[in-house]
A and B are shown apart, each in its own frame.
Chain A
Amino acid sequence: MLRNYLLTAYKVFLRRKLFTAINLACIVLTLVVLMVITALLQTTFWPSGVEGKSGRLLQVYGIRSESPDGRSSRTNLLGYKTIDKYLKPMTGVERVSAFTVPGTVSVYQGDRVSQLDMRRVDADYWKILDFHVLAGRLPDEDDDRLGRRVAVVNASTARRLFPGAAAVGQRISVSGQTFEIIGVVADVMHMNAYADIWTPLTTFPSTDYQKDLTGNFAAMLLARSPSDLPRIRRDVARIATTFVSDDPHTFPTTRFWADSKLDVVARMLLSRQSEADSGATRLLLMTGAGMLLFMLLPALNLVNLNMGRILERSAEIGVRKAFGATSLQLAGQLVVENVLLCLAGGLLGLVCAQLALWWLEASQLIPYLEVGINLPVFGCGMLLALVFGLLSGALPAWKMSRLDPVHALKGAA
Chain B
Amino acid sequence: MLRHLLQLTWKRKSRNLMLSLEILLAFAIVFGIAAFGLRYWQLYREPIGFDGTDTWSVAMLFSDVPADAIPADTYDLLRRSLLELPEVRAVGFATHAPYTLSTWTTSFKSPQTGAKVDTDTIEVSDDVPAALGMRLEAGRWFDATDEGRAELPAVLNRRMAAALFPGRPALGQRFMSAEAGPPRIYRVVGLVEAFRNKGPFMTPTNFVIARFAPHTSQSRVRTILLKVAPGTPRAFETKLNQRLKAVRNDWSYEIAPLTSMRATLLKEELVPLAVVAVIAAFMLLMVAFGLFGVLWQNTTRRIPEIGLRRALGASAASIYRQIVVEQLLLCSVAMAAALVLLVQLPLTGALGDTLNWPVFAGATLLSMAVIYLLSLACSLYPGWRASRLDPAAALHYE
Chain A residues with a Cβ under 8 A of chain B: 18-19, 22-23, 25-26, 29-30, 33, 79, 103-106, 108, 111-113, 115, 175-176, 205-206, 208-209, 211-212, 214-215, 296-298, 300-305, 307-309, 311-312, 365, 395, 411
Chain B residues with a Cβ under 8 A of chain A: 15, 18-19, 21-22, 25-26, 29, 61-65, 233-235, 237-238, 241-242, 245, 249-256, 271, 279, 282-283, 285-287, 289-290, 292-294, 296-298, 300-301, 398
User: What chain B residues lie within 8 Å of A26 (beta carbons)?
Assistant: 286, 289-290
6 tightest A-B CB contacts, nearest first = A308-B297, A301-B290, A206-B250, A111-B235, A300-B22, A208-B63
Q: Are B285 and A29 closer than 8 Å at their CB atoms?
A: yes
Question: If the complex has contacts A214-B64, A215-B63, are A308 and B235 also in contact, measured as CB distance less than 8 A?
Answer: no
Choice from B22, B235, B241 contacting A304 with Cβ under 8 Å? B22
Q: Are A300 and B21 closer than 8 Å at their CB atoms?
A: yes
Q: Are B289 and A108 closer than 8 Å at their CB atoms?
A: no
Closest to B255 in A: A106
Closest to B290 in A: A301
Question: How many contacts between A and B, using CB within 8 angstroms?
Answer: 118
A10–chain B nearest beta-carbon distance, Å: 20
Choice from A25, A33, A309 contacting B297 with Cβ under 8 Å? A309
Question: If the complex has contacts A113-B235, A175-B252, A205-B251, are A308 and B298 also in contact, measured as CB distance less than 8 A?
Answer: yes
Q: Are A205 and B22 closer than 8 Å at their CB atoms?
A: no
Choice from B22, B235, B255, B398 contacting A297 with Cβ under 8 Å? B22
Question: If the complex has contacts A300-B22, A305-B294, are A311 and B63 also in contact, measured as CB distance less than 8 A?
Answer: no
* Alpha-carbon distance A285/B210, docked complex (angstroms): 45
Q: Are A298 and B241 closer than 8 Å at their CB atoms?
A: no
Q: Are B253 and A211 closer than 8 Å at their CB atoms?
A: no
User: What chain B residues lie within 8 Å of A106 (beta carbons)?
Assistant: 237, 241, 254-255
* Alpha-carbon distance A205/B294, docked complex (angstroms): 69
Interface of A is mostly: helix
Question: If the complex has contacts A212-B64, A304-B294, are A205 and B250 also in contact, measured as CB distance less than 8 A?
Answer: yes
Q: Are A298 and B283 closer than 8 Å at their CB atoms?
A: yes
Q: Are A108 and B237 closer than 8 Å at their CB atoms?
A: yes
* Alpha-carbon distance A411/B398, docked complex (angstroms): 9
User: What chain B residues lie within 8 Å of A312 (beta carbons)?
Assistant: 297, 300-301
Q: Are B250 and A307 closer than 8 Å at their CB atoms?
A: no
Closest to B300 in A: A312
Q: Are B250 and A208 closer than 8 Å at their CB atoms?
A: yes
Q: Are A297 and B287 closer than 8 Å at their CB atoms?
A: yes
Choice from B252, B296, B301, B398 contacting A176 with Cβ under 8 Å? B252
Known: A23-B293, A111-B233. 8 other contacts (CB 8 A): A19-B297, A105-B252, A108-B237, A175-B254, A212-B64, A297-B286, A311-B301, A312-B300
Closest to A293 in B: B25
Closest to B25 in A: A297
Chain A to chain B contacts (Cβ below 8 Å), 30 pairs: A22-B292, A22-B293, A23-B293, A25-B289, A26-B289, A29-B282, A29-B285, A105-B252, A106-B255, A115-B256, A175-B252, A176-B241, A176-B245, A208-B62, A209-B63, A212-B64, A215-B64, A297-B25, A297-B286, A298-B286, A300-B21, A300-B25, A301-B22, A301-B286, A301-B287, A303-B18, A304-B19, A304-B290, A307-B15, A311-B297
- Most chain B CB atoms below 10 A, which of A106, A206, A303: A106
* Alpha-carbon distance A111/B154, docked complex (angstroms): 42
User: What chain B residues lie within 8 Å of A215 (beta carbons)?
Assistant: 63-64
Interface of B is mostly: helix
User: What chain B residues lie within 8 Å of A79 (beta carbons)?
Assistant: 63-64
User: What chain B residues lie within 8 Å of A209 (beta carbons)?
Assistant: 63
* Alpha-carbon distance A169/B282, docked complex (angstroms): 49
* Alpha-carbon distance A256/B84, docked complex (angstroms): 47
Q: Are B293 and A305 closer than 8 Å at their CB atoms?
A: yes
Q: Are B254 and A104 closer than 8 Å at their CB atoms?
A: yes
* Alpha-carbon distance A111/B238, docked complex (angstroms): 8
User: What chain B residues lie within 8 Å of A208 (beta carbons)?
Assistant: 62-63, 65, 250
User: What chain A residues lie within 8 Å of B300 (beta carbons)?
Assistant: 312
A216–chain B nearest beta-carbon distance, Å: 9
Choice from B249, B271, B289 contacting A205 with Cβ under 8 Å? B249
Question: If the complex has contacts A26-B289, A215-B63, A308-B294, are A108 and B252 also in contact, measured as CB distance less than 8 A?
Answer: no
Q: Are B26 and A297 closer than 8 Å at their CB atoms?
A: yes
Choice from B21, B29, B245, B289 contacting A22 with Cβ under 8 Å? B289
Choice from A115, A211, A305 contacting B63 with Cβ under 8 Å? A211
User: What chain A residues lie within 8 Å of B22 (beta carbons)?
Assistant: 297, 300-301, 304
User: What chain A residues lie within 8 Å of B292 (beta carbons)?
Assistant: 22
Q: Are A113 and B234 closer than 8 Å at their CB atoms?
A: yes
Closest to B69 in A: A208
Q: Are A112 and B235 closer than 8 Å at their CB atoms?
A: yes
B136–chain A nearest beta-carbon distance, Å: 33
User: What chain A residues lie within 8 Å of B294 (beta carbons)?
Assistant: 304-305, 308
User: What chain B residues lie within 8 Å of A206 (beta carbons)?
Assistant: 250
* Alpha-carbon distance A25/B283, docked complex (angstroms): 11
* Alpha-carbon distance A308/B293, docked complex (angstroms): 9
Q: Are A175 and B25 closer than 8 Å at their CB atoms?
A: no
A385–chain B nearest beta-carbon distance, Å: 15
Q: Are B18 and A304 closer than 8 Å at their CB atoms?
A: yes
B71–chain A nearest beta-carbon distance, Å: 16
B121–chain A nearest beta-carbon distance, Å: 17
- Most chain B CB atoms below 10 A, which of A18, A25, A307, A308: A308
User: What chain B residues lie within 8 Å of A395 (beta carbons)?
Assistant: 18
User: What chain B residues lie within 8 Å of A300 (beta carbons)?
Assistant: 18, 21-22, 25
A394–chain B nearest beta-carbon distance, Å: 13
B237–chain A nearest beta-carbon distance, Å: 5
B354–chain A nearest beta-carbon distance, Å: 20
Q: Are B290 and A113 closer than 8 Å at their CB atoms?
A: no
Closest to A365 in B: B271
* Alpha-carbon distance A97/B21, docked complex (angstroms): 54
Q: Are A19 and B286 closer than 8 Å at their CB atoms?
A: no
Q: Are A113 and B238 closer than 8 Å at their CB atoms?
A: yes
User: What chain A residues lie within 8 Å of B25 (beta carbons)?
Assistant: 296-297, 300
* Alpha-carbon distance A395/B14, docked complex (angstroms): 12
Closest to A37 in B: B279
User: What chain B residues lie within 8 Å of A411 (beta carbons)?
Assistant: 398
User: What chain A residues lie within 8 Å of B26 (beta carbons)?
Assistant: 297
User: What chain A residues lie within 8 Å of B296 (beta carbons)?
Assistant: 18-19
Q: Are B63 and A175 closer than 8 Å at their CB atoms?
A: no
- Most chain B CB atoms below 10 A, which of A26, A301, A395, A411: A301
* Alpha-carbon distance A32/B209, docked complex (angstroms): 49
* Alpha-carbon distance A76/B289, docked complex (angstroms): 50
* Alpha-carbon distance A18/B290, docked complex (angstroms): 12
Q: Are A108 and B301 closer than 8 Å at their CB atoms?
A: no
Closest to B275 in A: A365
User: What chain B residues lie within 8 Å of A22 (beta carbons)?
Assistant: 289-290, 292-293
Q: Are B282 and A33 closer than 8 Å at their CB atoms?
A: yes
* Alpha-carbon distance A42/B279, docked complex (angstroms): 20
